[in-house]
Amino acid sequence: MGAVATTFQTRASTTARRRAANAFMTGVLWAAALSIIVLLAFFVGYIFYLGLPVISWHFLTSPPSEVSAGGGVGPEIFNSFYILILTLIFTTPIAMAGGIYLQEYASPGLFTSLVQFCAESLATVPSIVMGLFGLLVFVTMFHWKFTALGGALTLTLLNLPALMRVTQEALASVPAAFREGSMALGATKWQTIRKVVLPSAIAPLTTGVVLIAGRIFGETAALIFTAGVSVSAGRSAYDLGLFHQAETLSVHLWYTHSESLVPDAARVGNGSALVLLVMVLLFNMSARLIGYGLSKRFMGK
């Protein structure tokens, strides 16, 4: 009886220690998760505290000032969306075509491995290095100077691997039974991809594109060397030309806090930071909502 009681007490003690360790680690994980929420809330709240008094219709629509106070960020907001649209026009078809090829057509081999290696290597290039590449090629070699087109092409090179990888993962999430059923009914491989696989993967694809758009919208280093740090003098601030300087909101934020000579540089920087933060948050929220809506529509879940 004594041995049985000792064994029971040992097991009870071990169970208690395990429960205590489990409770402790659960608390640590909860604290880590809550700390992320608190840090984000503090960061967002602080940016709103600094930038909200600056925001006005005049600030959001007027051009920046080079020497006097009272400038706005209207052209910078326009250029941010303009370069974003140009970049997505260049990036989306190439990246999705590459992702479809690698996921649906490519068989294991030297060429496939080479493409994957090149994509992964390109994804590791820092944005400032890609900006210097754009400076050497688009600004110097092609003699374009600082242009919206050069900035968009540089961002295309920077974001191609990420969107290609998103496409691969989205297509891989489609069950193989969908492909087999379609081809069993007599559809060709391309018809299966176009009418079955892509509609089934539309939710993660759209989410990936919107998240990439948020990354493009907030890019700075690559655009400093390719799109310029000002709008073209003597031209409309809202110019749709491809070969004009196109300072974006993120570049303007960097410029006001580093080299600007206007007396209210801190004020303009705080307002620019708030506008940029709100736009990036909207991109991320839109990605979640669009992905959820498309999942319900196409997949019924």
Q: Quick one: average pLDDT of 47-55?
A: 90
pLDDT digits (tens, 9 = 90+) for 52-106: 888 888 888 888 887 777 788 888 899 999 999 999 999 999 999 999 998 888 8
pLDDT of residue 47: 92
pLDDT at residue 260 tops 90: no
pLDDT at residue 224 tops 80: yes
pTM value is 0.84
pLDDT at residue 238 tops 90: no
* 300 confidence band (pLDDT: 50, 70, 90): low
Is-contact 227 246, C-beta < 8 A? yes
Percent of the chain at pLDDT exceeding 90: 29
Tokens of 73: 């960020």
Q: Quick one: average pLDDT of 22-29?
A: 90
Residue of 98, 133, 128, 91 whose CA lies nearest to 116: 98
Percent of the chain at pLDDT exceeding 70: 91
pLDDT of residue 85: 92
Name residue 246's beta-bridge partners. 231
Domain boundaries, the chain: 2-52, 61-299
| CA dihedral (117, 104, 157, 250) positive or negative | negative
pLDDT of residue 6: 63
| CA dihedral (88, 271, 128, 228) positive or negative | positive
pLDDT of residue 83: 93
* 195 confidence band (pLDDT: 50, 70, 90): confident
pLDDT at residue 138 tops 90: yes
pLDDT of residue 133: 93
Alpha helices (runs of H) in 124-264, residue ranges in sequence order: 127-134, 148-172, 176-184, 189-192, 198-200, 202-217, 221-224, 249-256
* 5 confidence band (pLDDT: 50, 70, 90): low
Question: Average pLDDT over the chain, rounded to whole?
Answer: 85
DSSP annotation string for 101-141: IIIII--SSHHHHHHHHHHHHHHTS-HHHHHHHHIIIIIII
* 29 confidence band (pLDDT: 50, 70, 90): very high
Superfamily grouping for domain 61-299: MetI-like (1.10.3720.10)
Q: Quick one: average pLDDT of 32-45?
A: 92
pLDDT at residue 1 tops 70: no
The amino acid that residue 94 corresponds to is I
pLDDT of residue 203: 82
